[in-house]
């Protein structure tokens, strides 16, 4: 049985407070200690007794609940230690990753507390940002990293290497590096393929509006090291990690992508699979009987 549960929401999500209170009441009734992040709205809602410091919130739980949309889940996964299962409840819009809806989540909560669930392990990647010999950041991500131009209308140029060998260079609006989980996110909007997220050991390179038809989406082994060097010195070129971190990238900066040791352990919905989610989100199959 799980003993300590951290619950994460969007810092400004006041609409979820009442539902959050019902989850806390349910967990507390079963003897589960609840930890909440240091968000102002939680203190204002009278939940100060559950608020912990960030170190406790991140290190102590043996179960984590993400209450929000896919963005909240992506942020939550990066907060918690490797191996801690994450139960995602969808309070957002699309919800490709957050499969449990609020009206059913409480019904599943008892089984989850008692560890009666299946874990779906998802690969994560890691981005290392170098400027000269200085490492500016090293960030694991579950969905994707997008390198894109800012307000300038001019294309940006990028040089690509795989495992130390030159691959290609191209100009365009940018580039997306995606995990299999992220194939249904920004990459899909840019025309990339849908990949079942339980497929392991690969990642996707997706150009954004390249200025040549020869630059196509590319799937490479997960043990590869992809290096991207920017050849355009625009002051507002931006690297966005999982839609959360927005980092300025300069000309001649180098970005290294590799497999991360960290894995995301998502509690799987017992009555859905990836293809059922696709059918629901894209309205597939509704005209099947018309043929």
Q: What is the pLDDT of residues 144-160, one digit of tens each?
A: 999 997 666 678 899 99
Low-confidence ranges of the chain (pLDDT < 50): none
In this prediction, residue 288 carries a pLDDT of 59
Whether 152 and 114 share a structural domain: no
The answer to whether residue 183 is domain-embedded is yes
Length of the chain counted residue by residue: 291
In this prediction, residue 151 carries a pLDDT of 66
In this prediction, residue 23 carries a pLDDT of 96
The answer to whether residue 290 is domain-embedded is no
Q: In the structure encoding, which two tokens stand for residue 263, read together?
A: 């894995």
How many angstroms separate the most distant Cα atoms in the chain?
62
Q: Which residues are tagged catalytic?
A: 70
- Among residues 92, 214, 69, the alpha carbon closest in space to that of 143 is found at 69
The CATH number given to whatever domain includes residue 218 is 2.60.200.30
Whether 130 and 238 share a structural domain: yes
How many Cα atoms are found within 13 Å in the side-chain-facing hemisphere of 283?
A: 2
Whether 107 and 132 share a structural domain: no
Whether 153 and 210 share a structural domain: yes
CB of 74 closer than 8 Å to CB of 85: no
Whether 108 and 47 share a structural domain: yes
Neighbours of 103 (CB within 10 A): 8
Whether 139 and 71 share a structural domain: no
d(CA 34, CA 186): 34
Q: Which domain holds residue 216?
A: 124-261
DSSP state of 289: G
The answer to whether residue 79 is domain-embedded is yes
pLDDT (tens digit per residue) in 47-101: 999 999 999 999 999 999 999 999 999 999 998 888 899 999 998 776 778 889 9
Q: Give the 3-state secondary structure of residue 137.
A: strand
In this prediction, residue 30 carries a pLDDT of 93
């Amino acid at each position: 049985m799980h003993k300590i549960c951290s619950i994460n929401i969007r810092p400004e999500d006041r609409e979820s407070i009442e539902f959050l209170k019902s989850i806390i009441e349910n967990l507390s009734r079963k003897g589960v200690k609840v930890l909440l992040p240091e968000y102002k709205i939680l203190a204002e809602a009278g939940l100060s007794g559950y608020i912990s410091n960030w170190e406790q919130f991140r290190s102590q739980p043996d179960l984590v609940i993400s209450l929000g949309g896919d963005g909240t889940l992506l942020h939550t996964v990066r907060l918690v230690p490797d191996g801690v299962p994450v139960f995602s409840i969808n309070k957002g819009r699309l919800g490709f990753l957050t499969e449990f809806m609020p009206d059913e989540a409480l019904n599943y909560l008892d089984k989850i507390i008692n560890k009666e669930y299946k874990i779906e392990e998802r690969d994560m990647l890691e981005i290392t940002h170098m400027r000269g010999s200085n490492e500016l950041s090293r960030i694991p991500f579950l969905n994707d990293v997008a390198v894109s131009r800012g307000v300038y209308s001019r294309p940006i140029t990028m040089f690509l290497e795989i495992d130390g060998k030159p691959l290609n260079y191209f100009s365009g609006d940018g580039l997306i590096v995606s995990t299999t989980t992220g194939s249904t996110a920004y990459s899909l909007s840019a025309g990339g393929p849908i990949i079942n997220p339980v497929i392991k050991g690969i990642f996707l390179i997706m150009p954004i509006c390249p200025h040549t038809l020869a630059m196509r989406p590319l799937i490479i082994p997960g043990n590869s090291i992809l290096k991207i060097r920017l050849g355009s010195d625009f002051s507002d070129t931006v690297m966005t990690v999982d839609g959360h971190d927005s980092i300025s990238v300069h000309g001649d900066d180098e970005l290294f992508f590799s497999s991360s040791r960290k894995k995301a352990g998502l509690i799987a919905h017992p009555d859905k699979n990836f293809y059922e989610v696709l059918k629901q989100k894209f309205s597939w199959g509704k005209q099947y009987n018309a043929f």
